[in-house]
Structure 1
Amino acid sequence: MMQQVYPQVFHPYAYELNKDIHFAAAHYVPSEEAGKCRYVHGHTYFANITIAGDLLDSSGFLVNFADLKQWIHARFDHQQLNHDAAFSDEDPNRFPTTEVVARTVYEIVQSHLDQMSNRPKCVQVYLRETPTSYVVYRPKGMV
């Protein structure tokens, strides 16, 4: 795994957990303005998910690293993102751009965290699409 320095997000919580996950996936951006990206192509995405909270669960975890991997890697690895229900060819806010994939990763993770008794929060998703391009998604109202 490559060592990476990620942008820091400031938050009021005692614990912060970061999990690196990679997945290989194909996609296309269904817009004429997308240029070459409107054609099916693939990436090896590298995601860093930042979760914060004040309470640990009954196992002593903020969240289990294995669960995070299951929620994201198992869903997106070796898939065509356009075929996933989270994305749409009709709504630009749901085209599988790097920005929307980062936000979708957040939405998936936070929906699982909302079911946990210790109520951790996903405070940042960093998603690298290529060696020179990445997006950081932070939900509004975290600080």
Structure 2
Amino acid sequence: MMQQIYPAPYHHFRFELNKDFHFAAAHYIPCEDAGKCRQVHGHTYFANITIVGNELNDSGFLVNFQDLKKLIHQRFDHTLLNEDSLFDDQDSEKFPTTEIVAKTVAEIIQQHLDQLPNKPKCIQVFLRETPTSYCVYRPISGANLS
């Protein structure tokens, strides 16, 4: 993966961890306004996940890098995103657009983090869909980030 500089979210936590990974997936946007994106097509998505926290776990990690990749890569790699239960062709707030995929990735990661004793937080997902198109998703400031 090419070195990439990502937008740095502001926070007051002691530790910040970033994990880059990619996954290949197809999707379509079931909306008349989506133009060519209404047809099934694929991307190699490149993601950067930003995790923060004040406490490390018993292994000295904020969170294990491998766990972050597994949560997303094993679920979405070489799939049709529209077939995943987290997306819905009938609800525009659940179409697998880049924005909604980034938000969904953040939610999956945060559900995992909430189970950890040191309670790290996912504060940013950078998701590149093409070489020229990407989305940055951040949960609403103050939303359970203490």
State the partner residue of 2:83: 83
Structure 2 counterpart SS, 1:26: strand
Deviations 1:64-115 (A, max 9, x none): 0000011011110000000000100010000000000000000000000000
User: Distance between the aligned counterparts of 2:94 and 2:137, measured in 1?
Assistant: 15
Q: Give the count of matched residue pairs.
A: 143
State the partner residue of 2:115: 115
Tell me the amino acid that sits aligned with residue 139 of structure 1: P
State the partner residue of 1:33: 33
State the partner residue of 1:73: 73
Root-mean-square deviation (Å): 0.8
User: Distance between the aligned counterparts of 1:99 and 1:141, measured in 2?
Assistant: 17
Gap regions ≥5 residues in structure 1: none
User: Distance between the aligned counterparts of 2:101 and 2:76, measured in 1?
Assistant: 10
State the partner residue of 2:102: 102
Structure 1 counterpart SS, 2:93: helix
Structure 2 counterpart SS, 1:75: helix
Structure 1 counterpart SS, 2:136: strand
Structure 1 counterpart SS, 2:36: helix
Q: How does 1:45-64 map to 2 (within 5 A)?
A: 45-64=45-64
Structure 2 counterpart SS, 1:48: strand
Identity %: 67
User: Distance between the aligned counterparts of 1:75 and 1:23, measured in 2?
Assistant: 10
Tell me the amino acid that sits aligned with residue 87 of structure 2: F
User: Distance between the aligned counterparts of 1:76 and 1:4, measured in 2?
Assistant: 22
Structure 2 counterpart SS, 1:8: coil
TM-score, length-scaled by structure 1? 0.98
State the partner residue of 1:11: 11
Task: Give the C-alpha shift of residue 141 in structure 1.
Answer: 1.7
TM-score, length-scaled by structure 2? 0.96
Gap regions ≥5 residues in structure 2: none
Tell me the amino acid that sits aligned with residue 127 of structure 1: L
